Amino acid sequence: MTQLLESLFGGLSIGSVLLLSALGLAIVFGLMGVINMAHGELMMLGAYTTFVVQNAFKKTPLEGFYIFFALIAAFIVTALLGLLLERGVIRYLYGRPLETLLATWGVSLILQQFVRSVSWQFIAGLLIFCLLFFGAMGVLSRLANFERIRGWVIGLMLPISAAISLTISHILGQTYKLAVTNPWFGTQGVDVTAPKWLRGGLPIVKEYQLPYTRLFIIVLTVVCVLGIYWFLNKTAWGLRIRAVTQNRNMSACLGIPTATVDALTFAIGSGLAGIAGCAVSLLGSVSPNTGQSYIVDTFMVVVVGGVGKLVGSIVAASAIGVISYVVSSNALGPLVGFSESLKGLFEFFATASMAKVMVFALIVIFLQFRPAGLFPQKGRTVDA
Amino acid sequence: MTQTNSTVAIQPSELGVNPLLEITNLNVYYGESHILRNVDMGVAAGKMVCLIGRNGVGKTTLLKSIMGLLKPRQGMIKLMGEPILTRTPDQRARSGIGYVPQGREIIPRLTVGENLLLGLEARPGKGRKAEIPEEIFDLFPVLKTMLWRMGGDLSGGQQQQLAIARALMGKPRLLVLDEPTEGIQPSIILEIEAAVRRIVETTGIGVLLVEQHLHFVRQADWYYAMQKGGIVAAGPTSELSNDVVQRFLAV
Ligand SMILES: Nc1ncnc2c1ncn2[C@@H]1O[C@H](COP(=O)(O)OP(=O)(O)OP(=O)(O)O)[C@@H](O)[C@H]1O
Ligand SMILES: [Mg+2]
């Protein structure tokens, strides 16, 4: 009994992290039919945002409640970044899923490297470059014959602004030395400490207590799911998103601004990644690679859950969470005590990585029977 | 009946006075196959214009080009005097084109009410109230009883009426209908016919209709006949001869 409860709660808390991170991915996947490979990195950035907010709130009266500000900040930062990503890259690749996959993967690598090397010097250089390049483009685009000279302008301004910004940031580095060249985060992980009231745990049974952080994440997940459900089903923009998800062309013909819907959906999906990242930061140390360890699991949730159904993602995330926990903690081991070989087999899978192999295998088998996921769409599917 | 070579436009005389939609020299390709060839046509406000032609001649292609779902390689499309070729489909809808596509394209997992509300997206001037005006139910009484049903669960005839109602929700200046009677039983066809006729008479909007049923075609004021992607004949529907009917209608 204890064992069962423990694995249920353990699994649920793993599942809720999975669900939280898969939620944004599932919405974007439903709309565009594409997996955003940078979703994990958006989570990672959400986690780093939490770290920054935590430090900003140190020694202030609100220190204990920094986590709420961090949640909001993480949502805003990653939503804006998602917006930039959609407007800057992904919108040019609609209808080309393979290229989108590669492009977002590239973005994920860039984001990882960005977090490793970001410093004041780096930021200053980047800002100067953007100011020069986009400023020049903005000014010159007023010229009447801009379309014709566009190629030339880009060819000329790109190296010039790059050279100027590199020189300035180099000079900055020379003058102020470590004060500006020291990376903010570096390649090592950083640690977010949960506020005092989240330390400790709720004793469920004698030997097992549910850590408050886990409980907090479960509650956070429930709130997010309800919020998204409300947004999709009760608001005008939610209706537009559902319409575009189901029939993009017809939605456009009805007058729905599909480009705005895409941008908004992507921003919300990314913002949810930020919230998931904030939650993840409570569970362990955060490094630039944090996102990578989540993208595959969240992808599995989306695939198993089926496209376009929130319920699918919820059930899939809980199921995958519970199965992972049960397998890796060898909760069923004692039940098969009668057979030595079975017991050996169970013990063999009772490590984190072997549990993952097991879950993978189960998913592959599952998809043989239900190729469209738990809750397949009736009728016509999304034509993205 | 008036025979033309396809570069000469034959248009109803009202068009010069009150042009709603004007298409000149339109050429559309699917990849390398040339589908529409030098199409010239027009629709005047307050008039119902019918486009006839056998299966696969390019009628749907023409309507999709008007909506912006296809990009013409050459030609001009003007709505109320303004060129619209650079606009996206959603901008065209907001400029006043209501589209009822072939196959109806009801959003399946939205309720009938939600499908209708989506029609409001095309209406210029935001801040409008999100409710369905009574006129819609006067035209299509069936819809009133099934507002909470899923769009995908309606019968073909009901979906067709929903699709027309949805387009009307946006108060379009031009209503474009692609085979609204395809696969629908005769009594419902008569209902749809009457509704469309009533819309033209009471609202003064223009209607561009693609149709195969002779009875419905005769409700229009003007016809264009299409063959191999070009307009080959045009005239008032009162002058529709048996010869034309046999050549261009698939009935
Ligand atoms: N997506 C497509 N790709 C390539 N060719 C197409 C495509 N859609 C239509 N066509 C071709 O374009 C031609 C015109 O098609 P269109 O749908 O406009 O015909 P239609 O006049 O509407 O016919 P129907 O009366 O059957 O609806 C046909 O020969 C068709 O095969
Ligand atoms: Mg057709």
Mutate to test the interface with A, among B63, B111, B112, B121 (most CBs of A within 10 A): B121
Work out how many CB contacts closer than 8 A connect A with B.
75
Distance of CA A380 to the CA centre of its chain: 29
End residue of a domain, out of A182, A215, A232: A182
pLDDT digits (tens, 9 = 90+) for A149-204: 888 888 888 888 888 888 888 888 888 877 777 788 877 888 888 888 888 887 77
Please determine, for residue B83, whether its predicted confidence score (pLDDT) is greater than 60.
yes
Q: What is the pLDDT along chain A (384 residues), one digit of tens a residue?
A: 677 777 777 788 888 888 998 899 888 888 877 788 999 999 999 999 999 999 999 888 888 889 999 999 999 999 999 999 999 999 888 878 889 889 999 999 999 999 988 888 888 888 888 888 888 888 888 877 777 888 888 888 888 888 888 888 888 888 887 777 778 887 788 888 888 888 888 777 667 777 888 889 999 999 999 999 999 999 999 999 999 989 999 999 999 999 999 999 999 999 999 999 999 999 888 999 888 888 888 888 888 887 667 788 888 888 888 888 888 777 666 666 677 777 777 777 777 778 788 888 888 888 888 777 777 654 434 332
- CB nearest to B107's CB, from A243, A252, A257: A243
Q: Domain extents for chain B?
A: 12-104+172-248
Question: Which one has a higher pLDDT value, B160 or A187?
Answer: B160
Shared-domain flag, residues A173 and A306: no
pLDDT digits (tens, 9 = 90+) for A328-343: 777 666 666 677 777 7
Shared-domain flag, residues A175 and A311: no
What pTM, to 2 d.p., does this model score? 0.87
The whole-number pLDDT of residue B13 equals 54
Domain total in chain A: 2
The ipTM, to two decimals, is 0.90
The whole-number pLDDT of residue B15 equals 56
Tokens 């097992």, residue located: A208
Shared-domain flag, residues A261 and A352: yes
What contacts A40, CB < 8 A, 6 or more positions away?
A21, A108, A273, A290, A291, A292, A293, A294, A295, A298
Shared-domain flag, residues A244 and A105: yes
Residue contact B117–A239, C-beta within 8 A:
yes
HEC string of A200-264 equals CEEECCCCCEEEHHHHHHHHHHHHHHHHHHHHHHHCHHHHHHHHHHHCHHHHHHCCCCHHHHHHH
Helices and strands (DSSP H and E) totals, chain A: 15, 2
Name the E strands within B5-108: 19-30, 33-44, 48-52, 74-79, 82-83, 97-100
End residue of a domain, out of A152, A182, A212: A182
Chain B residue numbers touching A253 (CB-CB < 8 A): 67, 69, 89-90, 93, 99, 101, 105
How crowded is the C-beta side of A322, counted as CA atoms within 13 Å? 13
CA distances A313 to A21, A235, A277, Å, are 11, 21, 18
Chain A residue numbers touching B166 (CB-CB < 8 A): 254
Shared-domain flag, residues A78 and A143: no
Chain B residue numbers touching A247 (CB-CB < 8 A): 105, 107-108
Fold of domain B12-104+172-248: Rossmann fold (3.40.50)
Q: Which two tokens stand for residue B234?
A: 């045009």
d(CA A46, CA A70): 9
Shared-domain flag, residues A217 and A339: yes
- CB nearest to B107's CB, from A247, A252, A259: A247
Ligand 1 pocket check: which of B35, B71, B227 to mutate, most ligand atoms within 8 Å of Cβ? B35
Q: From the CA of A16, how many Å to the nearest CA of chain B?
A: 27
Quote the ligand 2 centre to B178 CA distance (angstroms): 7
Q: How confident is the model at residue B5 (pLDDT cuts 50, 70, 90)?
A: very low
Quote the ligand 2 centre to B57 CA distance (angstroms): 8
End residue of a domain, out of A182, A200, A226: A182
Quote the ligand 1 centre to B205 CA distance (angstroms): 28
d(CA B179, CA B216): 10
Mean pLDDT for chain B overall:
88
CA angle A294, A295, A297 (to 5 degrees): 70
Residue contact A251–B118, C-beta within 8 A:
yes
- CB nearest to A239's CB, from B89, B93, B114: B114
Shared-domain flag, residues A133 and A238: no
Shared-domain flag, residues A111 and A139: no
Shared-domain flag, residues A81 and A200: yes
Check CB contact of B150 with chain A, cutoff 8 Å: no
**Domain containing A335: what range?**
2-118+183-383
Shared-domain flag, residues A146 and A288: no
Percent of chain A with pLDDT over 90: 32
Q: From the CA of B215, how many Å to the nearest CA of chain A?
A: 28
